[in-house]
Structure 1
């Protein structure tokens, strides 16, 4: 009886030791690419009024064709989206070629939803605003074919240029 308990303990100990894993330090650090993207997505504003900054951000999104889906100004969050055509000529040509060769119907990208999220964060010197853009693409069968973060600098630059103008005009009540 005593020997079976010792064997049982010896069998369980290695399993329990395997449960105690440490997280590598590199797992909690952002990569240089992540840091660059975060800098592209974030701007600091010399205002402590998050609500006005979010209102200006919502106006810019609407000017860019987005509909506001969610607004929680108390939490510093606004989410907007817009629907766009996602058809690409190369996919259509490939689908026609496959069908002509007897391969049957091939799914092609059809619709996409572009989502924008605004998040504010108060700092000692003002307020940081981070905007992120993502797209979800559905194919001709109604299935999600892609979800991706949009990382083109021009999109972020355009948004922040318009937001800076809106915040300036609001501050000067023009």
Structure 2
């Protein structure tokens, strides 16, 4: 009976930890600042194409774009093993003497989908890019179980660095 109590407590702890917020609270201004980069002496079209190239280089698929409006929508999808589901499945399999494994859903992978929306705007002497990335976790049934805005500066900075390199190449290869 001690073993049953141990696993019950363990499952409760995992459930509580899984529900805890992973994002630190940022103000709207902080989020916009992290998501925005300005480029000097370039045209909107050059930066727009550089943004598309940066996203394609990262494995994104363009879902929509409009160069006149400066809007790009893109998506990237991967799979990832769900550690909580693996543990839950192992415990359930143990307590059902293997029947859960035989008759249950044995897909332990979740789909991770990242949706990006970006805006490229020409201003006086500069071109501004703002990128917003949303990460979604979908279970094996295709239901969204978690959806969060990506708020890691290094994520956006790596895209902006690729845009800068592409702009540099575009301007110096003519």
User: TM-score range, shorter-chain basis?
Assistant: 0.7 to 0.9
Shift of 1:139: 0.7
The C-alpha deviation readout for 1:32-51, integer Å capped at 9, x for no partner, is: 62211111110011145212
Q: Does residue 101 of structure 1 match 2:90?
A: no
Alignment correspondent of 1:126 = 126
Give the distance between the partners of 2:121 and 2:130, measured in 1 at CA: 8
2:86 aligned partner: 92
Once the two structures are TM-superposed, the CA of residue 70 in structure 1 deviates from its matched residue by 0.5
Q: Offset at 1:128? A: 0.7
**Residue 12 of structure 2: aligned partner:** none
1:162 aligns with 2:156: no
When the two structures are superposed, what TM-score results if normalisation uses the length of structure 1?
0.72
Q: Which runs of 5+ in 1 are unaligned?
A: 1-30
Q: 1:32 to 1:146 in 2, by over 3 A?
A: closer
Residues 68, 148 of structure 1: alpha-carbon distance in 2 compared, 3 angstrom cutoff:
same
**Aligned residue for 1:33?**
27
Aligned pair count reads 144
Query: Alpha carbon RMSD of aligned pairs, Å?
Result: 2.4
Instruction: Provide Cα deviations, 1:90-114, integer angstroms capped at 9, x if missing partner.
Output: 4312332244335x66896611211
Once the two structures are TM-superposed, the CA of residue 125 in structure 1 deviates from its matched residue by 2.8
Partner of 1:151: 151
Using the alignment, how far apart are the partners of 1:136 and 1:74 within structure 2?
29
State the TM-score, normalized to the length of structure 2: 0.72
Greater RCO structure (CA 8 Å; 6+ sep): 2
Query: Which residue of structure 2 aligns with residue 11 of structure 1?
Result: none
Q: Distance in 2 between matches of 1:74 and 1:37?
A: 25
Provide, for residues 83-141 of structure 1, a one-character-per-residue CA deviation record: whole Å limited to 9, x for no partner: 10132324312332244335x66896611211122201222231110111112221122
